[in-house]
Amino acid sequence: MPKPLPPNIPLLGENLLHVLKTHEVEEKELHNMKIGVRALDELTPQEIRDLKLVFDVFDSDLDGNLSLAEVRLALRALGFKTDMDQVHKMATELNKGLVATDFNAFLNFVIDRQGDVRDLHDEIVLGFKHFDLDGTGKVTLANLKKLCRDYKVRIPDSELEEMIQEADTNGDNAVDVEEFVKVMMQTHMYS
C-alpha cells in the first residue's frame, strides 16, 4: 500500500487546476492557425477562413505579415474606406507600432473597422471593384486566377470555381455586384 503524501504537498491535479484558473488563454487553434480569442469571439470560423484568404492574397512576399500598405489594400478590398494615416494609427494601437502586421493583428483591424462602416452598400461595392479587374461589372474565374497569380497565392482552380459557383445565383459563371453584395451580407463581415 502506497504511503500517503504529507498534507502540505499539493496534488498534481490541484496544480494543473490552479494553472488553468490563473493563466488566461489568449489564442486557440483553428484551421491549423493560432487565432486570438477576440477574433474567435467576434468572427465565425468561416469569416476567419475567408479573411485568411484575403490576408494571403495581399501578403506579397509570403512572409506571413502584411506591410501597412498591404493592410490598407486588403481593407480596401474588403470594402473599408481607409487611408494610410488610419492604418498607421490602428497599427500603433493594435500592433504596438510594428510595421509588420500578422494575421491576428489583421483580424483585429477588420473587427475594429466593422463598427466604423457607415454606408454598407457603398463599402461593399468599393470592395467589389478591386476584384473586377477588367471593369466588366463581373468577377470571373479569370479575375480570381490573375489576382492569385499577381499576389503569389496558391489556391486550387477547383476552390476558385467553387467560390464563383457559390456566389453566382443567375448562372452566368461570374459574380456581379449584386451577387457580391449578397454574399458579403450573408457572411456578416459588414454587420
With a cut of 90, say whether residue 137 has pLDDT above it: yes
Confidence category of residue 80, pLDDT binned at 50, 70, 90: confident
Q: How confident is the model at residue 139 (pLDDT cuts 50, 70, 90)?
A: very high
Mean pLDDT of 67-85: 86
The predicted structure's pLDDT at residue 140 = 96
Share of the chain above pLDDT 70, in %: 75
Q: Are 51 and 187 in contact (CB under 8 A)?
A: no
* Domain ranges across the chain: 16-116, 132-189
Please indicate whether the domains covering 16-116 and 132-189 agree at the CATH topology level: yes
What percent of the chain is modeled with pLDDT above 90? 27
CATH code for the domain defined by 16-116: 1.10.238.10
Beta pairing, strands 138-139 & 175-176: antiparallel
pLDDT at 97: 61
**Size of the chain, expressed as the number of residues it contains:** 191
State the amino acid at position 144 in one-letter form.
Answer: L
Q: Pick from 119, 118, 87: which is nearest to 101 by CA?
A: 87
**Around Cβ 103, how many Cβ atoms within 10 Å?**
21
Please tell me the predicted confidence (pLDDT) of residue 191.
47
Q: Count the Cβ atoms, other than its own, within 10 Å of residue 12.
A: 7
**Is this prediction's pTM over 0.85?**
no
The pLDDT of residue 96: 67
Task: Give residue 160's pLDDT band: very low, low, confident or very high (50, 70, 90).
Answer: very high
Give the pairing of strands 33-36 and 138-139. Answer: unpaired
pLDDT at 174: 96
132-189: CATH topology is Recoverin; domain 1 (1.10.238)
* pLDDT tens figures, 3-49: 665 555 555 666 656 555 665 545 566 657 788 888 888 888 888 88
Contacts of 50 by beta carbon, 8 Å cutoff, 6+ apart: 187, 189
Give me the pLDDT at residue 167, please. 92
Q: What is the pLDDT of residues 53-73, one digit of tens each?
A: 899 999 988 899 998 889 888
pLDDT at position 76, please?
A: 85
